[in-house]
């Protein structure tokens, strides 16, 4: 297993990549997200050794069990600030405010964005974290869709950037978001769009700063059943009257018979919302389904790890050069 968790910092181990995961998901999704990224990195690493460091922003509201898990298995975010890493992955979280700058974690997130630019070779910003990063660095505000982009979307590869080398020209990837950042504003500010989701906007895009910032509006790390669990979670919120809107079925996800049965159950729930219906819904959706996006997801992360490996080797082999010169060479290679 080339990827391992680590709590004991013993310095640089040469060919080993040190990658941080700042996991901002709440509740039950915390451990699932942790496992998803570990599994994906492990599949992508091949013969590259990776030490994975777990962190969480302190201002994200959490359940008691989630906070207990963080206290037991995560390093304090305070330990991150004076420790450079080869790479960083920052997850999103469920939004609590319409304006990102009103989120309780905003100050910590902006500090993390500035830190990552100075102290990593590359950082991946996922979903809401991507929206926060482009807002803070370039003032690009997200815009709310009229309907949630939820399900499996066809994404076209529109660039030959090394991060999408070997990725098919069209792939299926999960999306689950109410908001988007306009592609025209991204390109005007120097971002490069690598994949575009049909009916959902930019999927993967990058910008070379001191660090290569990689932005994902989709979720290649998702398990095969993650969209199913999100759908049932949101139905549960409606049935408990925590939400006044019944969620739409995830696009292109359930087979026709299951979708028909779930639509019929929705009609019953709208007339008589009872939480007991969740047991029936769980039974309807329990069958195994294939992960149709695993192969391109592994390819993307394999390319990212290769970029980190090359950037780290370049930095260590050019210690006699100025930091600015090394960063320029790395930036030039990233555009190939």
DSSP string, 221-271: T--TTHHHHHHHHHHHHHHTTS-SSPPPPPBTTS-HHHHHHHHHHHHHHHH
Name which of 297, 2, 329 is nearest 124 in CA terms. Answer: 297
What is Dmax (Cα atoms) for the chain? 72
Mutual angle of helices 277-284 and 226-239, in 10-degree steps: 160
Query: What is the Cα–Cα distance from 34 to 40, expressed in whole angstroms?
Result: 10
Alpha-carbon distance of 214 to 27, in angstroms, equals 26
Place of tokens 């181990």: 13
| Residues designated as active site | 127, 219, 221
Closest Cα partner for 25 from 52, 63, 51?
63
CA atoms of 112 and 105, how far apart (whole Å)? 11
């Amino acid at each position: 297993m080339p990827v391992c968790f680590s709590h004991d910092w013993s310095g640089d181990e040469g060919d080993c990549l040190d990658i941080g995961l700042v996991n901002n998901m709440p509740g039950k999704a915390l451990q699932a997200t942790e496992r998803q990224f570990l599994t994906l990195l492990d599949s992508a690493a091949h013969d590259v050794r990776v030490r994975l460091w777990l962190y969480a922003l302190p201002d994200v509201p959490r359940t008691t069990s989630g906070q207990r898990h963080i206290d037991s298995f995560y390093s304090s975010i305070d330990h991150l600030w004076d420790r450079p890493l080869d790479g960083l992955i920052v997850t999103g979280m469920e939004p609590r405010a319409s304006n990102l700058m009103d989120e309780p974690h905003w100050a910590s997130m902006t500090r993390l964005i500035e830190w990552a630019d100075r102290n990593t070779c590359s950082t991946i910003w996922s979903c809401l974290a991507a929206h926060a990063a482009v807002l803070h660095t370039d003032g690009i505000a997200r815009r709310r869709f009229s309907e949630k982009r939820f399900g499996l979307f066809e994404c076209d590869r529109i660039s030959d950037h090394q991060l999408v080398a070997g990725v098919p020209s069209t792939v299926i990837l999960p999306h689950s978001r109410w908001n988007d950042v306009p592609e025209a504003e991204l390109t005007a500010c120097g971002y490069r769009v690598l994949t575009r989701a049909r009916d959902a906007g930019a999927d993967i895009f990058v910008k070379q700063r001191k660090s290569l910032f990689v932005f994902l509006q989709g979720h290649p790390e998702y398990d095969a059943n993650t969209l199913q669990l999100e759908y049932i979670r949101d139905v549960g919120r409606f049935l408990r009257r925590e939400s006044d809107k019944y969620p739409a079925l995830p696009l292109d996800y359930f087979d026709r018979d299951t979708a028909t049965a779930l639509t019929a159950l929705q009609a019953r729930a709208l007339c008589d919302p009872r939480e007991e219906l969740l047991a029936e819904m769980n039974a309807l959706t329990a069958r195994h389904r294939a992960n149709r996006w695993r192969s391109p997801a592994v390819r993307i992360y394999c390319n990212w790890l290769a970029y980190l490996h090359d950037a780290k080797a370049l930095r260590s082999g050019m210690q006699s050069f100025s930091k600015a010169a090394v960063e320029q060479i790395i930036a030039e290679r990233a555009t190939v």
